[in-house]
Chains A and B, each alone.
Chain A
Amino acid sequence: MRYLGGRLAQSLIVLLLMSFIIYGLIGLMPGDPIDLMISADPRMTSEDAARLREIYGLDQPLSERWVAWLGAAVTGDLGWSRLQARPVLDALVPALAETGLLMGIALILTLAIALPAGVVAARRPHSMVDRAIGLLAFLGISTPPFWLALVLIIVFAVILGVLPAGGAGAGGGLVDHARHLVLPVLALTLAGVGGYVRYVRAAMLETLGRDWIRTARAKGMSERQVLLRHALRPAMIPVATLVGIDFGALFSGALVVETVFARPGMGRLIYDAILGNDYNLALAALLLATLLTLIGNLLADLGLVLLDRRLRLGEVPQ
Chain B
Amino acid sequence: MSIAATPLTLAGRRFLGQWWTVTALLTLMALAAAVAAAPLVAAALGTDAQTVDLFGRFAPPSPAHPLGTDDLGRDVLLRLLEGGRASLLVGLLAALGSAVIGSVVGLAAGYFGGRPDAVLMRLTDGLLALPLLPLLIVLAALDPAKLGLPDAFVFSDFAGLARIVVIVSLFGWTTVARLVRAEALRLREETFVLAARAQGAGAGRIMTVHILPNLASSIIVATTLAAGNVILLEAVLSFLGLGIQPPTPSWGNLLTNAQELVWSAPSLAIWPGLLILMTVITLNIVGDGLREALDPRATNR
Show the binding face of A for B, using Cβ within 8 Å: 14, 18, 22, 25-31, 138-139, 141-147, 150-151, 153-154, 158-159, 165, 198, 202, 244-245, 247-249, 251-252, 255-256, 259-260, 267, 270-271, 274-275, 282, 285-286, 289-290, 292-294, 297
Q: How many A-B residue pairs have CB under 8 A?
A: 129
Instruction: Judge whether A286 and B133 touch: CB under 8 Å.
Output: no
Instruction: Judge whether B281 and A138 touch: CB under 8 Å.
Output: yes
Q: Is the interface of B mostly helix, strand, loop or mixed?
A: helix
Instruction: Judge whether A146 and B130 touch: CB under 8 Å.
Output: no
Instruction: Judge whether A144 and B276 touch: CB under 8 Å.
Output: yes
Instruction: Judge whether A25 and B139 touch: CB under 8 Å.
Output: yes
Interface centre among A18, A147, A282, A294, by most B CB within 10 Å?
A147
- Give complex CA distance A259, B237 in Å: 12
**Residues of chain B at interface, number, CB under 8 A:** 40
Contacts of A158 in B (CB 8 A): 262-263, 266
- Closest residue of chain A to B143, judged by CB? A30
B107 CB → nearest A CB, Å: 21
Of B129, B133, B263, B276, the contact of A147 (CB 8 Å cutoff): B276
Contacts of B284 in A (CB 8 A): 138, 141-142
Instruction: Judge whether A244 and B129 touch: CB under 8 Å.
Output: yes
Contacts of B133 in A (CB 8 A): 251-252, 255-256
- Closest residue of chain B to A297, judged by CB? B129
Instruction: Judge whether B262 and A153 touch: CB under 8 Å.
Output: yes
Instruction: Judge whether B134 and A259 touch: CB under 8 Å.
Output: no
Instruction: Judge whether A293 and B281 touch: CB under 8 Å.
Output: no
Instruction: Judge whether B131 and A159 touch: CB under 8 Å.
Output: no
Given contacts A150-B259, A154-B269, A293-B130, contact A275 B239 (CB under 8 A): no
Q: Which 10 A-B pairs have the closest CB atoms?
A: A147-B273, A252-B133, A30-B143, A142-B280, A142-B281, A289-B131, A251-B131, A248-B131, A154-B266, A28-B142
Given contacts A142-B281, A158-B263, contact A274 B141 (CB under 8 A): yes
- Give complex CA distance A248, B174 in Å: 15
Q: Does B54 contact A (CB under 8 A)?
A: no
- Give complex CA distance A267, B269 in Å: 22
Given contacts A147-B276, A294-B129, contact A289 B259 (CB under 8 A): no
Q: Does B84 contact A (CB under 8 A)?
A: no
Contacts of A141 in B (CB 8 A): 284
Instruction: Judge whether B141 and A286 touch: CB under 8 Å.
Output: no
- Give complex CA distance A247, B239 in Å: 22
Instruction: Judge whether B239 and A146 touch: CB under 8 Å.
Output: yes
Instruction: Judge whether B130 and A18 touch: CB under 8 Å.
Output: yes
Q: Does B207 contact A (CB under 8 A)?
A: no
Contacts of A25 in B (CB 8 A): 138-139, 142
Contacts of A153 in B (CB 8 A): 262
